[in-house]
Structure 1
Amino acid sequence: MSERTATIASSVGLHARPAAIFTEAAAELDLEITIAMAGEPADDAMDATSILSIMSLGAAHGDVVVLRAEGAGADEALDSLVKILETDHDATA
């Protein structure tokens, strides 16, 4: 099983807009991907394709989450999802 940690970069945390961007990207992948707050047991991880699950994490700016996936392409998939989480989608251009 592949695993990555990511620090939430969006200034107001993993709320509706960044959560939607993240879940849409996760749903496009042919893998089961889970997300949990760092330090939580792997058994408590939630489905990364569910916007309700993502928002219920309550991940704030600077919080660390753990992504896990298994299967072909898991490492690359997790790397791409980490980039999404570590981008401030609330920053103004």
Structure 2
Amino acid sequence: MPSIQATVAAAEGLHARPASLFVQEAARQPVKVTVGRPGSAPVDARSLLAVMTLGARHGETLELSAEGDEALAALHTLAALLAADPVQ
């Protein structure tokens, strides 16, 4: 299963608006993506509640994983979204 790490760039972390934008983009992907802290149990990236429960803060590194034919493309898309502050 491919995985990639990304740093949360949003000033308020992965809460409210940034989390909502991330979840919406994850739902558009053709493969199921999970997100979590490296070494911890991941959550479904399509679940707003699960993503917000992570409590990811600005500057924190998260690990994204996916499985399937288009997994790497999905991971790079979502990692780029985390690495940019989508609210600005």
Band the TM-score falls in, shorter-chain normalisation = over 0.9
Deviates more, 1:29-38 or 1:8-17: 29-38
* TM superposition score normalised by structure 1: 0.90
- The 5 A counterparts of 1:1-80 are 1-40=1-40, 44-80=41-77
Q: Stretches of 4+ moved more than 2 A in 1?
A: none
Q: Deviations over 1:16-66 (max 9, x none)?
A: 1011111001101121110011232xxx11000000011000000000000
**Paired residues, what number?**
88
| Alpha-carbon RMSD | 0.9
Extract unaligned runs of 5+ from structure 2. Answer: none
**Between the two proteins, what is the percent identity of the paired residues?**
41
CA drift of 1:90 comes to 3.7
The letter of the residue matching 1:37 is R
User: Structure 2 CA distance, aligned partners of 1:61 and 1:90?
Assistant: 13
